[in-house]
Structure 1
Amino acid sequence: MTHSPPTGGRAPRAALVAVLLASALPALAQSVDPIEPPDPVAQHNTNALWFENWIGLENATLKVAGPDGRVRTLTQARGTPVFTLSYPAADGTWRYELRADTEERVAFVPNPGRRGGSALPQTVAKVFSRGGSFVVERGVIVTPEQQKSAAEADADPAPLPRARR
């Protein structure tokens, strides 16, 4: 009486699966896209500034400098920071700088004079940074299109109606 091997005939199947996986892995590795860097887009309404497409960012700091020179700093551990104008808002150009940690890790290079040895981290989050500006007129944030139409209206004002006597 002949007995089947202790593997129950699975050895050929396991070898076949191993060969198929080995041949498929290079194709899978090529099809995986690298991580796209974050690309938040500044958005605003008449009294607030925030960012959309906030994927892969955390620990954000938003610094906003008004035309009066005053700097406002907002921090947000998760999600987009939202800057809201306070009344009365100074007219003029406001500038902002956004900094946040990405999911990408980079090697940590310590300051040569810093102590800590093995307690220092080996990697840190790569920092995303973006700056920009917006304009406030009559206490509200305006878009460039609104600025152009206002400038055109000021350049060629409509005549005033004559007063009747």
Structure 2
Amino acid sequence: MTDALTRAVLETERHVAAAGWDQPPRLFALVRTAGMLRREPGLAQQLGPQAVQAAQRDPEHLTSVEQEGVPRTSSLESVLGRLAWGPDVDGVALMVERLVVPPSAERDLPDAPDAAVEHLAAHPERADVRLLVAVLRDGEHVCALRQRGHDEDGSVAVGPDLVPGLVAALQATLEG
């Protein structure tokens, strides 16, 4: 895949991966680089010549702009439910890390939430994953998944439907 959104997802995922594991959620506005440079020509120097050239070659080229101050919360849905983006934002990307276990691991879970999390975290078949999900206003979306156990750029899975619930939640932040 070589479309603009997939390129932006892979670039953003590599940027996030450089900071290692055990990160809080990170949120990015996706902006078409050419439009951003027309509105703010002074950003050309900050973005660098590669981004400027990419925007000249491909008017769909996207730049990820990290949003600082994402509140730490146990309810990502509540944060997403309060987000709204201005018209200059063409899309949004979100990185989250999750613990994945096989369905059998959910049998015999302790009732206490903290004890249940400990039980799952200690499961021998657990896998730590990092998801980066991106959507555009027109509904186009791409997901990337990196496993801690296969922590290499060449091992990142990419596809449109890896996390459909998160795709829908992010798309909702662009509506209205």
TM-score calculated relative to the size of structure 1: 0.27
User: Higher helix fraction: Structure 1 or Structure 2?
Assistant: 2
Bigger Rg, which one: 1
Higher relative contact order structure (alpha carbons within 8 Å, sequence separation ≥ 6): 2
User: Higher strand fraction: Structure 1 or Structure 2?
Assistant: 1
TM-score calculated relative to the size of structure 2: 0.26
